[in-house]
């Protein structure tokens, strides 16, 4: 090397930045931030939409002589808090059924999953029953959001954006306010959504186990059990040529899935009809619902009658919106079928809708009972995912505001239970 080269070399090195050949620290930090934002996006979307609804509830609660906190504990929420605090035998006698009665078996109308978890959380953490109930509701709502993003990604023509839009639509459902109440809907929706994720992935053992857990939360689990069992049976038939081992896991899921629902129905029925046989006891819970809340399956007769009366005579906003929601649900089911949404999802959505439309009881609770039918929101999510981001944001914002107002109206202005 010449003396000239030796003299120039330090100058060349001095002009070469230290980060050449290395990844700049700012890039690593930006990448980590981006990954964190992606990971938190489902929770953020869900919580933002729900907080819009809660803000509207706060604004309406004061002028109507109540508080948002009290409103979020109304109706069934009081039952769940009472069961969480004292168990089925220790619920306050002030809690009554639709006929003003409180018999020893009356609290059995409410499934044990949500209040049991709330009570256990309160015991372990020292939180009040109310605080534990709200924490469980929020946590399961967020868990549901992550499952919905997965569903939006797994369906035909879906994407992560579809999933995030589905989360926003779910949080802004017409009675999405219930997802912030001391009700069991958020917990059930989370378990149902994750069950469907496992079904779509053909992860049969987790699907069966989570479905069994959902059976301890709400009777709507019947629709979920139907979807899981049919999907597992179809899978077992398809893989039968691969031998017994290939069939074992889906068949095991088929056996596990109904355990939670049937187990609670039998346990409750044994207390309601202690002197009758097993099959008669399985019908005890339905008898309790009819006797205490005049709720039974009538094939949709009461829903049709309510729809006719609401359209021709009712001046109630709540009645008319309820009818509109039910009609929209039926239309969305047909659209989802036309778009060839995966059939296990359609079976589940049909089951939820059939249970809701086919039962009588309190008509104004039907919009709330459709919350678990989140699959029906997929056609809207798929459509919005193809729109310009600004258009999609505007539509979702309007939906969130309307949903927030309707939910607040149902709790602080509407005089009857939901």
pLDDT tens sequence across 262-275: 999 999 999 999 88
pTM for the model: 0.92
pLDDT at 25 (0 to 100): 52
**What are the backbone dihedrals phi and psi of residue 297, each rounded to the nearest 5 degrees, phi first?**
-85, 120
pLDDT at 26 (0 to 100): 55
- What own/partner pairs with CB < 8 Å and gap ≥ 24 does 351-357 have? 351/222, 351/223, 351/224, 351/226, 351/227, 352/220, 352/223, 353/329, 354/223, 355/219, 355/220, 355/222, 355/223, 355/297, 356/326, 356/329, 357/300, 357/303, 357/326, 357/330
Considering only residues 243 and 287, tell me which one the structure prediction assigns the higher pLDDT. 287
Percentage of the chain surpassing pLDDT 90? 80
pLDDT at 339 (0 to 100): 96
Mean pLDDT score across all residues of the chain: 92
Task: Look up residue 129 and give its two tokens.
Answer: 């029953």
DSSP-based three-state secondary structure for 43: helix
pLDDT of 22 over the 60 cut:
no
pLDDT at 368 (0 to 100): 95
DSSP-based three-state secondary structure for 372: coil
pLDDT at 239 (0 to 100): 84
355-384 average pLDDT score:
95
16-42 average pLDDT score:
72
Lookup result for tokens 């439309």? 357
pLDDT of 321 over the 90 cut:
yes
pLDDT of 78 over the 80 cut:
yes
Instruction: List, in sequence order, every residue forming a beta bridge with 359; answer none if it has no partner.
Output: 297
Percentage of the chain surpassing pLDDT 70? 94
- How far apart (Å, rounded) are the C-alpha atoms in residues 127 and 124? 8
187-196 average pLDDT score:
98
Chain length of the chain: 418
């Amino acid at each position: 090397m010449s003396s000239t080269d030796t003299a120039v070399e330090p100058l060349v090195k001095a002009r070469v930045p230290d980060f050449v050949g290395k990844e700049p620290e700012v890039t690593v930090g930006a990448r980590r931030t981006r990954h964190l934002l992606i990971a938190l996006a489902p929770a953020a979307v869900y919580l933002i939409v729900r907080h819009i609804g809660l803000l509207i509830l706060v604004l309406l609660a004061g002028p109507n002589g109540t508080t948002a906190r009290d409103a979020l504990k109304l109706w069934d929420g009081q039952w769940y808090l009472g069961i969480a605090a004292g168990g089925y035998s220790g619920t306050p006698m002030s809690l009554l059924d639709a006929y003003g009665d409180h018999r020893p078996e009356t609290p059995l109308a409410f499934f044990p999953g949500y209040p049991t978890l709330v009570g256990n959380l309160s015991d372990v953490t020292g939180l009040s029953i109310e605080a534990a109930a709200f924490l469980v509701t929020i946590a399961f709502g967020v868990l549901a959001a992550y499952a919905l993003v997965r569903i939006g990604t797994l369906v035909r023509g879906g994407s992560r954006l579809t999933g995030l839009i589905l989360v926003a639509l779910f949080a802004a459902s017409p009675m999405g306010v219930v997802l912030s109440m001391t009700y069991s809907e958020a917990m059930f929706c989370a378990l149902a959504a994750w069950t469907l994720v496992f079904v779509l992935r053909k992860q049969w053992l987790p699907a069966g186990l989570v479905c069994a857990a959902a059976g301890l939360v709400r009777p709507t689990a019947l629709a979920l059990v139907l979807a899981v069992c049919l999907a597992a049976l179809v899978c077992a038939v398809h893989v039968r040529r691969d031998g017994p081992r290939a069939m074992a896991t889906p068949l095991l899921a088929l056996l596990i899935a109904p355990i939670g629902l049937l187990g609670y129905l039998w346990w409750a029925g044994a207390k309601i009809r202690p002197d009758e046989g097993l099959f008669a006891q399985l019908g005890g819970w339905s008898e309790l619902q009819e006797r205490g809340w005049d709720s039974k399956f009538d094939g949709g007769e009461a829903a049709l009658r309510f729809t006719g009366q609401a359209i021709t005579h009712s001046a109630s906003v709540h009645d008319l919106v309820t009818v509109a929601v039910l009609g929209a649900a039926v239309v969305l089911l047909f659209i989802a079928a036309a778009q060839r949404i995966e059939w296990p999802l359609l079976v589940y959505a049909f089951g939820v809708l059939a249970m809701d439309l086919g039962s009588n009881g309190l008509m104004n609770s039907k919009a709330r009972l459709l919350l678990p039918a989140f699959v029906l929101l997929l056609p809207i999510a798929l459509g919005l995912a193809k729109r310009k981001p600004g258009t999609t944001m505007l539509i979702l914002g309007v939906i969130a505001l309307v949903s927030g107002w309707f939910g607040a109206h149902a709790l602080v202005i509407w005089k009857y239970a939901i």
